[in-house]
Chains A and B, each alone.
Chain A
């Protein structure tokens, strides 16, 4: 069976309530060596890291705010430009519409004029041709009448007298 140390055995070791200068000094020495090492190689760099990161986060947040303000400005500018562009666009469209309308009206007037002129020329030509035709018809019908009358009356009639009669008759037509 396992035996357990008696109280007399344990009391031979250093007590937890009795003062022990060696232990106190050991604690101090260890603590201060630890403090020196950790302060130099751990906590100072850690705190610098923390401060650096805090500054970075702070700056990043500030930049984000600035960017937000800038973005709002840009948005405003964009809206302004868009509005101006829209107004200009409407103006340009209106102007071109007006120009087109004027141009169309101009073209229409010109074409009307041209057409009228062409009709006039055509009328004149037709009139000329008509006169020519009438003249020719008159001559030919006179001759045909003479020929016909000559054939009908034959020799008993004076040629010159008849011709005169026919011509007078034609004139009266």
Chain B
């Protein structure tokens, strides 16, 4: 009904904000038209990478005996990823070796998620074309790297659980093999859906204010609440993505554990 009486359309309003585009709307400035080869989400990815490089190469103080400030914060994150994620799932040797990769993955996803929380910026992780390549890296490590490191025998040992009677193996082995793909897809969809859904909820609430004016002002409180919840989800999703990646890779590398 509102479509006929009100010039504002909620559906396209939300889609405009969550979809990727080649335009960047900034306040008091003309619309920035991005070239064909790069979209707004692409800009966010490069921007996030630059922020991370500046943060780690510019603000991190090497050789501090007692770390303080940002150095302390970054070290706490790295230590957490090393001690709570990589080493428990991948073992001491592989865990330490893979820590830089998982740290990069964590900070990259966290940076992209957090950029999305800032008004005027876009959430690149709510784009399946961003979450897919990230999940594919995990898939690559689960399959090709396992084959390289453990060989075909090691790869099959990860798929074929030990101590299971052979009739059940007929059922389990294809499922396990399929599971590798399913795990990758869930990894990809979980991050994408969470980041997209959070924004859609907030935009719905803000759209209500535009639609109904001051009558919908309580929705603003809800929108603020959801924004705070989003900040939690941003950290949680980055953590979950990295945690599950480590878990899946660990299951392939060390199936006995």
Number of A-B contacts (CB under 8 A): 142
Residues of B within 8 A of A9 (CB): 16
Interface residues of B in 55-77 (CB under 8 A from A): 56-57, 60, 62-65, 67, 74-75
**Contact (Cβ within 8 A) A27 B53:** no
CB within 8 Å for A43 and B99 given contacts A4-B16, A13-B21: yes
CA distance A45 to B128 in the complex (A): 33
**In the complex where A4-B12, A22-B37, A34-B49 touch, is A47 in contact with B129 (Cβ < 8 A)?**
no
Interchain CB contact under 8 A, B108 and A34: yes
B11 at the A interface (CB under 8 A): yes
Cross-chain contact B129 with A5 (CB below 8 angstroms): no
Contact B78 A4 (CB under 8 A): no
> A50 and B82: CB pair below 8 A?
yes
Q: Is B219 in the interface zone, CB < 8 Å from A? A: no
In the bound complex, how far is the Cα of B54 from the Cα of A55, in angstroms? 29
SS class, residues of chain A in contact with chain B: helix
Candidates A12, A14, A30, A44; contact of B49 at CB < 8 Å: A30
- Chain A residues whose C-beta falls within 8 Å of the C-beta of B38 in the assembled complex: 22, 26
Q: How close is B242's CB to chain A, nearest CB, in angstroms?
A: 13
Contact B45 A39 (CB under 8 A): no
A69 within 8 Å of B by Cβ? no
* Residue in B39, B52, B105, B196 whose beta carbon sits within 8 Å of that of A13 in the complex: B39
In the complex, A47 Cα to B95 Cα: how many Å?
12
Query: Given the complex, which residues of B lie within 8 Å of A22, measured CB to CB?
Result: 37-38, 42
Asked if A42 meets B56 with Cβ closer than 8 Å, knowing A27-B134, A31-B108, A31-B137, the reply is yes
Question: Considering only CB atoms and an 8 Å cut-off, how many residues of chain A contact the other chain?
Answer: 42
Whether A16 pairs with B104 at a CB distance below 8 angstroms is no
For the complex, is A165 an interface residue (Cβ under 8 Å from B)?
no
CA distance A85 to B126 in the complex (A): 82
A34 and B133 in contact (CB under 8 A), knowing A7-B12, A13-B20? no
Pairs across A and B, CB under 8 Å, 6 listed: A13-B22, A27-B45, A27-B130, A34-B53, A34-B104, A39-B104
A residues lining the B interface (CB < 8 Å)? 1, 3-7, 9-17, 19-20, 22-28, 30-31, 33-35, 37-39, 41-47, 49-50, 53
Interface residues, chain B, CB within 8 Å of chain A?
7-9, 11-13, 15-16, 18-23, 37-42, 45-46, 49, 52-53, 56-57, 60, 62-65, 67, 74-75, 78-79, 82, 96, 99-101, 103-105, 107-108, 126-130, 132-134, 137, 192, 196
